[in-house]
Amino acid sequence: MTIGIDIGTSEVKALLLGPDQRGIGSAGSALTVSRPHPGHSEQDPADWWTATQAALAALRAAHPAEYAATEAIGLSGQMHGAVLLDAQDRVLRPAILWNDTRCAAECSEMMAELPALSELGGSLAMPGFTAPKLRWVAHHEPEIFQRVSKVLLPKDHVRLMLTGEHVSDLSDASGTLWLDVRRRDWSDELLALTGLTRAHMPRLVEGSEAGGRLKADVAQALGLRPGTVVAGGAGDNAASAVGMGAVEAGQGFLSLGTSGVLFVVTPDYQPNAASATHAFCHAVPGRWHQMSVMLSAASALQWVSELLGAANAGDVAARAAALSSQDRAASPLFLPYLSGERTPHNDARVRGSFHGLDFDTDAARLGYAVMEGVSFGLRDGLAALNAAGSSVSRLSLVGGGARSGFWAQMLASALGVEIVTHGGSAVGGALGAARLGALSVGAPMASVCLPPPVDTVYRPDPAERELLAPRHDLFRSLYRRP
């Protein structure tokens, strides 16, 4: 038995996984986000530990025998968050989260001071990352910065509670902008940009290696065996990839949730920071991955559904699916940049728009335009990954948008790859974390990192590709217009 713990932004989720790789049970505990000022997003690290204990207690109550037999724990978590500790491991201030945008000026400063930053760190400096957050603290809260002894990521603070050790894994550390991603080690040059050294950083392990053991008092309180291995674990996207069996070059997934993420495993380090992609270490040794990220995906369909007064996003998607090819070709175009965009434009100021509205535009055509615009944005993201050397022929589709077969088919045609869905199969960070736990105690990767059963396969449709091609050309030209 292994347990996977996923430290999300809105919830801590714990999953109990059997030796046959089947989920035995799961439990969650909700979290809240504090926004004390515009652009700020923070959480109290103590809340993650409280929620973790609650989720584990619920698992223990529901499955006492299996829970007590746990051999290892794996951790997954929201990336980029900055937990600042003093020399006695006391938290100095609320953690600054991945979606906090206060440090945009610091990002510009860092890029100007070290032009090699993106080659070393695998990404442009962006406000979401950890390093510019520490530079902001140095500028605006110098008395706190002077007391910083260690900087941990969210899941690694939970590890500290479990094991008493300062440890991180390479996939999560890739999101700090302090890691030399090619060398899989901390970079002295990048650390110097924020006035820090290796002494401020946790020890690094691969995600599938042991990253500490349960302290005796904690094990007793949790009802687990003292010395239980806590695996290195992973950042949430890498953990999700492990949960979907995407560990070999060319495998990947498309997450169609609030944001849109394209994740492709690569055999080596392949950065393309100029197109705002991310090249990070994977959670298993000797592999890297690339990601393209668009900021508004299924959330854009939810937005237009609320605007139209529809019962739900599924209703609008169904109306769009009923349109004829002629109606689709006559639909307006939608630029899905409702909150700016990351890949490939790295443009925080751009905003969304409809192009080509007329008196024949109705709710169905607007819904279609939004789904198509998101698909085109993801196509541009895949092109950015291809330009850096990635190659992929099949992508697993996960997230809320995966419920629409019409959208899945459109994505297959727009991206020119097979799209597969997995029905009700458990996927996500907690499953990947549990699998990394199994790897850390010797389970073979070939029997652990299996893809979930495929529900439906969607292949590119030549007729739909012919309809989409000229519309995509116009879509791309609209971004470049003043």
Residues designated catalytic: 236
Peptide bond into 285 cis (omega under 30): no
Residue 81: which of 133, 147, 12, 150 has the closest Cα? 133
Tokens of 81: 């968050």
Give the Cβ contact number of residue 439 at 10 Å.
26
Amino acid symbol at 158: V
CA-CA distances (angstroms) from residue 75 to 7, 28, 420? 8, 14, 27
Whole-angstrom Cα distance, residue 218 to residue 73? 13
Residue 355: which of 376, 339, 379, 386 has the closest Cα? 376
Q: Dihedral (C-alpha) 407, 409, 415, 416: value to the nearest 10 degrees?
A: 180
Strand partners, 4: 15, 74
Helix spans in 313-394 (H)? 313-321, 325-329, 363-387
Q: CB of 214 within 8 A of CB of 73?
A: yes
Whole-angstrom Cα distance, residue 70 to residue 326? 57
Residue 5: which of 265, 186, 220, 228 has the closest Cα? 228
User: What sign does the dihedral 435-437-439-442 (CA atoms) show?
Assistant: negative
Whole-angstrom Cα distance, residue 240 to residue 261? 11
